[in-house]
Amino acid sequence: MNTIARIRPWLAWTLWVVGLTCIMWCGWVTAKEKSFQVEQGRLLDRELSSPPSIRLASRPAANSTVAPNLIGRLDIARVKLSVMVVEGDDEETLNVAVGHLPDTPLPWQSGNSALAGHRDTFFRPLKDVRVGDEIVLTSLHGELHYRVERTVIVDPQDLSVLKPSVKPTLTLVTCFPFFYVGHAPRRFVVQARRLGAEPRPVDTGSQPRPRIHATS
Q: Give the domain ranges of the chain.
A: 43-194
Domain at 43-194: CATH architecture: Beta Barrel (2.40)
pLDDT along the chain (216 residues), means of 10: 63 57 55 87 90 58 65 97 96 96 95 97 97 96 96 97 96 97 95 88 56 38
Angle (CA) 92-153-214 rounded to 5° is: 45
pLDDT of residue 203: 67
pLDDT of residue 202: 78
pLDDT of residue 197: 72
| Catalytic residue from among 26, 100, 145, 175 | 175
pLDDT of residue 161: 97
pLDDT of residue 16: 56
pLDDT of residue 26: 53
Counting Cβ atoms within 10 Å, is residue 145 exposed (0-12), middle (13-18) or buried (19+)?
A: middle
| Catalytic residue from among 26, 118, 183, 213 | 118
pLDDT of residue 56: 55
Is 175 in the active site? yes
pLDDT of residue 207: 47
